Amino acid sequence: MSKSVIIIGCGIAGPVLAMLLKHKGFEPHIFERLPEIQVAGISLGVSPQTLKVLNILGLAEKLIALGESLDHFRTYSQLRGEQLGTSDIPARVRDWLGWPMLMIARVRYCQFLYDSAKERGISITFSRNLVGVKQEGERVRAIFEDGSEAEGDLLVGCDGLHSAVRNALFGKDEIKYSRLAQIGGISITPEILKSPVHMAHQYLGDGVHFVATPIGHEQMAWVATFPEPNEAREDWKRISIENAKELLDGLPVANWDNGPKDVLAHATFVTKYGLYERPICPSWHKGRIVLLGDAAHPTSPFLGQGGNQAMEDCYHFVRLLCKAAPFTDESLESAFKEYENIRIPIVTKSVARAKVEGQKRVLSGKEACLQRDEIMLKGNGMDPQRVQWQNDLIQGPFMGESEI
Ligand SMILES: Cc1cc2nc3c(=O)[nH]c(=O)nc-3n(C[C@H](O)[C@H](O)[C@H](O)COP(=O)(O)OP(=O)(O)OC[C@H]3O[C@@H](n4cnc5c(N)ncnc54)[C@H](O)[C@@H]3O)c2cc1C
Judge if the beta carbon of residue 247 lies within 6 A of ligand 1: no
pLDDT of residue 217: 82
Judge if the beta carbon of residue 142 lies within 6 A of ligand 1: no
Closest Cα to atom 20, ligand 1: which residue? Answer: 307
Rounded distance between C-alpha atoms, residue 345 and residue 337, angstroms: 13
pLDDT of residue 44: 98
Judge if the beta carbon of residue 358 lies within 6 A of ligand 1: no
Q: What share of the chain is helix, strand, coil (3-state, %, to 5)?
A: 40, 25, 35
Residue closest to 215 by CA, chosen among 185, 259, 255: 185
Rounded distance between C-alpha atoms, residue 282 and residue 166, angstroms: 11
Q: Kindly report, residue by residue over 132-188, the tens digit of the pLDDT.
A: 999 999 999 999 999 999 999 999 999 999 999 999 999 998 899 999 999 999 999
Judge if the beta carbon of residue 40 lies within 6 A of ligand 1: yes
Closest Cα to atom 38, ligand 1: which residue? Answer: 159
Judge if the beta carbon of residue 8 lies within 6 A of ligand 1: yes
Judge if the beta carbon of residue 127 lies within 6 A of ligand 1: no
User: Taking residues 249-277, what's their average pLDDT?
Assistant: 96
CA of 239 to the centre of ligand 1 (A): 19
| DSSP state, residue 265 | H
Q: Kindly report, residue by residue over 56-83, the tens digit of the pLDDT.
A: 999 999 999 999 999 999 999 999 999 9
CA of 9 to the centre of ligand 1 (A): 8
* DSSP assignment of 116-180: HHHHTT-EEE-S--EEEEEEETTEEEEEETTS-EEEESEEEE---TT-HHHHHHH-----EEEEE
Domains and CATH numbers, the chain: 4-175+278-393 (3.50.50.60)
Judge if the beta carbon of residue 184 lies within 6 A of ligand 1: no
Beta-carbon count within 10 A of 146 CB: 10
Judge if the beta carbon of residue 188 lies within 6 A of ligand 1: no
SS3 394: coil
Judge if the beta carbon of residue 157 lies within 6 A of ligand 1: no
Residue closest to 161 by CA, chosen among 40, 286, 278: 278
Q: 294 and 160 in contact (C-beta within 8 Å)?
A: yes
CA of 237 to the centre of ligand 1 (A): 13
CA of 252 to the centre of ligand 1 (A): 28
Supply the mean pLDDT for the chain. 97
Q: Kindly report, residue by residue over 298-346, the tens digit of the pLDDT.
A: 999 999 999 999 999 999 999 999 999 999 999 999 999 999 999 999 9
Residues recorded for the chain: 404
pLDDT of residue 235: 84
User: Taking residues 206-210, what's their average pLDDT?
Assistant: 98
**Angle, in degrees to the nearest 10, between helices 329-361 and 384-393:** 160
The residue whose CB lies within 8 Å of the most ligand 1 atoms, and thus the one to mutate among 7, 12, 351, is 12
pLDDT of residue 237: 86
Atom of ligand 1 nearest to the CA of 13: 25
| DSSP state, residue 205 | -
Rounded distance between C-alpha atoms, residue 243 and residue 17, angstroms: 38
Residue closest to 120 by CA, chosen among 48, 2, 27, 43: 27
Closest Cα to atom 19, ligand 1: which residue? Answer: 306
pLDDT of residue 336: 98
Atom of ligand 1 nearest to the CA of 301: 11
Residue closest to 252 by CA, chosen among 244, 242, 261: 261
Residue closest to 299 by CA, chosen among 288, 290, 310, 289: 310
At 236, the pLDDT band (50, 70, 90 cuts) reads: confident
Residue closest to 163 by CA, chosen among 123, 131, 124: 131
Cis preceding linkage at 326, omega within 30:
yes
Judge if the beta carbon of residue 253 lies within 6 A of ligand 1: no
Rounded distance between C-alpha atoms, residue 105 and residue 107, angstroms: 6
Judge if the beta carbon of residue 38 lies within 6 A of ligand 1: yes
Rounded distance between C-alpha atoms, residue 388 and residue 213, angstroms: 21
Judge if the beta carbon of residue 43 lies within 6 A of ligand 1: yes
At 399, the pLDDT band (50, 70, 90 cuts) reads: very high
**Alpha carbon 162 to its chain's center:** 15
